[in-house]
Structure 1
């Protein structure tokens, strides 16, 4: 890796950590930067998943007060999340690289669309939870399993998917659902991290650059969150994501 490529992924990691703290969608920055630095798309995906893990840990820790009284609920979803993440990781590692190369532009585009819809999803979740709506437990576990499969396979927009699922099937306050989303996201990412560290083509040199840069970006982003416009930032990332999806499709 050249110095220029190292600087590129360091800056991308910093920006990804910052936008995750403000609006979410940081992987739409760090993943294509790793590809631009010369990593194959599958290698970039597993490397990105490994590098952003500390951010999931920090997010779950930030919601520990909201999680303290949801132990039984979280334990009920933990097994489903771990099984789904295991399946998603296995699919990614076992399937031919060409399969991921073919679907990744659509995954990036899907992540961009989910990020664009994030405010509406959050508003719908809030309205539903205030109304006391709640679905069936079996349906909740099926939806969480599928979300975990997606999260381990690619992960862009996982938080938005989980918030929507929890909002549909669990009647509770939005901040408590956000805490549950953070914990489930951490579980999914941890399973993927272990699987990729043991069996995946992780570029540990890139991880050593992106991970601390992302942590620093998350800290700075958290400090600046109240001064920045999440809507403007979200729109910028969505446009960037669409451009990246087109670029990946044409490579």
Structure 2
């Protein structure tokens, strides 16, 4: 590997780590870069999952203030993400790659629409709960959706953060910044689970993993600093823009 190849991968890792901490979809940066540098798509996918895992942990740590007192609930959500990620890695290792990718743009597009309508839907849901005298607690629907997103994330991590923000924004009454912290923590769980499995049983490039890990760890801290300062409306706008860019890139890929 030449020095400029290594530099490109590190820079891509920083960029991806930053985007992942703010919104998600960092894979849409690093995966095309690795393929363009000559790595086979499967190896690029597995190496990317392992290499970006430290960045998701870094981003989650950067949001630790927003998650103060909420960690017990995060752990419950993480159980669904954990088992979903295992299912996703099994799919990647056993199914033809195009068996799942055909629906990926549709899923990301749907998530973007949900993020756009989330404030009105969340207000309606909370109003219904208040009218029925119910306490606003996470229900089976949220855990089920997080499990499905975990499957998607374990298979192909791009835009999983957009999907998480969409469903949590509608089904939880927490502030958007706290939800972003939860998203980072759950993404870390999914990426670490997928990364460990791929590192053990799938072809990976360890030099690429090391460079991506370095870059994404730095990017995770940068993204947390940027994301935490964004007002809710701006953060939602960033999510929508990056989500739409993800749809376009996935369709044209």
Q: TM-score range by the shorter chain?
A: 0.7 to 0.9
Shift of 1:29: 0.8
Distance 2:113 2:123 in 1: 15
The aligned counterpart of 1:212 is 214
Distance 1:131 1:236 in 2: 30
Query: Is 1:242–2:244 an aligned residue pair?
Result: no
CA separation of 1:70 and 1:15: change in aligned 2, threshold 3 A: closer
The 3-state SS of whatever aligns with 2:31 is helix
Distance 1:240 1:139 in 2: 26
The aligned counterpart of 1:100 is 97
> Which residues of 2 match residues 185-200 of structure 1 at below 5 A?
185-200=187-202
Q: Tell me which moved more, 193-202 or 169-178.
A: 169-178
TM-score by length of 1: 0.77
The 3-state SS of whatever aligns with 2:180 is helix
Query: Is 1:62–2:58 an aligned residue pair?
Result: no
The 3-state SS of whatever aligns with 2:38 is coil
TM-score by length of 2: 0.77
1:120 corresponds to which of 96, 116, 139: 116
1:174-214 deviations in Å (ceiling 9; x for gaps): 23322222222221112111111111212111112222123
Distance 1:139 1:232 in 2: 26
Distance 2:79 2:238 in 1: 37
1:156 corresponds to which of 143, 151, 158: 158
Unaligned runs of 5+ in 2: 130-135
1:21-47 deviations in Å (ceiling 9; x for gaps): 455422211111011111121211111
Distance 2:22 2:72 in 1: 29
Distance 1:78 1:224 in 2: 24
Unaligned runs of 5+ in 1: none
Q: CA RMSD in A?
A: 3.4
1:38-73 deviations in Å (ceiling 9; x for gaps): 112121111111111122112221232333322432
Shift of 1:8: 3.0
Shift of 1:115: 8.1
The aligned counterpart of 2:15 is 15
Distance 1:140 1:236 in 2: 23
CA separation of 1:219 and 1:163: change in aligned 2, threshold 3 A: closer
CA contact (8 A) 1:23 1:234 kept: no
CA separation of 1:125 and 1:20: change in aligned 2, threshold 3 A: farther
Shift of 1:76: 2.5
The aligned counterpart of 1:51 is 51
Shift of 1:167: 2.3
CA separation of 1:115 and 1:131: change in aligned 2, threshold 3 A: same
